[in-house]
Amino acid sequence: MRKKRIEKYILKQIRELDNILVDVKASRNSKAIHQFRLIIKKLNAIFRFIGHLNSEFEGKKKVKFIYQIYKYLGGIRDFQIQLRNLENYSDIHRCYFPEFYTFIKRESEKVVKDFDNLIDSEKKIKPKKIIKHFQFTLVQFTDSQLRTFIAEFTERSIDTVHEMLQAIENEENIHEIRRIIKDVLYIIQFSKFDSNYTIGTTGIKSSHLNEFGILLGDWHDLVVLRDSLFKFNVEQEFFLLESNTDYQQLLDNILEDMEKLLYAFRQQFTNVYKQNSEIC
């Protein structure tokens, strides 16, 4: 793990953001939005890792404009996924929800308008200024130290996931587990480890992290759809979920699928985590 690789990687990712932002501005297609947010997530993982090495590191403050874009694109992306999932439920159960669909579209338009106002501003992404901030932190460590820190950080993160799963389950914990798993995955990918790389003594491989990420990502998307349905129900003065059996069934289906995804994740993680250890 060479410091120069980190610097080049970060610089490349930030410059790529500018290119992708052109596509996002022009079309707001889901692929471009996904690419933009994926780069931010990868940078976020590195920010948190470096912040762990140096408590004075303030990565996010140096890219505040990028995170503003990320926030709005997250909203747009969530609405796109909501519409897709709602259409899937409608097709599977042969029951359609035009009022809810219209509600999601209307909410999406509000976010798009705010996003348009943001990107029409004169603010710019400044890669060199950001890199200098990273260099100030990285110069304090040798390449060997960074390799050791990455190994320790990733193993400790997976152990934290295990501990959180043993605690009383709540959605806040699951969201945090999802973030940790993505961070570890991006750091391992960045470090050029292959899919068979095992994280310390955890028994978890990077290929497992991909599988976990898909399950928790699908779960997250259904949480967002469920919350939108609750918000829509309030707008309807609690009429739909109280008296409309179609909407009641839609909610039941969402909650059931959320539970299935969480169960699958728990089973997969438990089956792999320290499987050769007495801790299991």
Give the residue extent of every domain in the chain: 1-140, 142-274
Summarize pLDDT for 63-101 with one digit per residue, the tens.
667 777 888 888 989 999 999 999 999 998 889 899 999
Q: Given a cut of 60, is residue 139 above it in pLDDT?
A: yes
Summarize pLDDT for 217-248 with one digit per residue, the tens.
999 999 999 999 999 988 887 667 777 889 99
Residue in 166, 195, 190, 165 with CA at minimum distance from that of residue 178: 165
Is residue 233 within 8 A of residue 241, CB to CB? The reply is yes
Q: What is the pLDDT of residue 185?
A: 92
Q: How far apart are CA 35 and CA 32, in angstroms?
A: 5
Q: What is the pLDDT of residue 255?
A: 96
Q: Which amino acid is at 125?
A: I
Average pLDDT of the chain to the nearest whole number: 83
pTM for the full model?
0.85
Q: What is the pLDDT of residue 218?
A: 97
Tokens of 190: 């960045």
- Specify the higher pLDDT residue, 158 or 28: 158
Rg (CA), the chain: 21
Summarize pLDDT for 94-127 with one digit per residue, the tens.
898 999 999 999 999 988 888 888 776 655 555 5
What is the average pLDDT across 19-38?
81
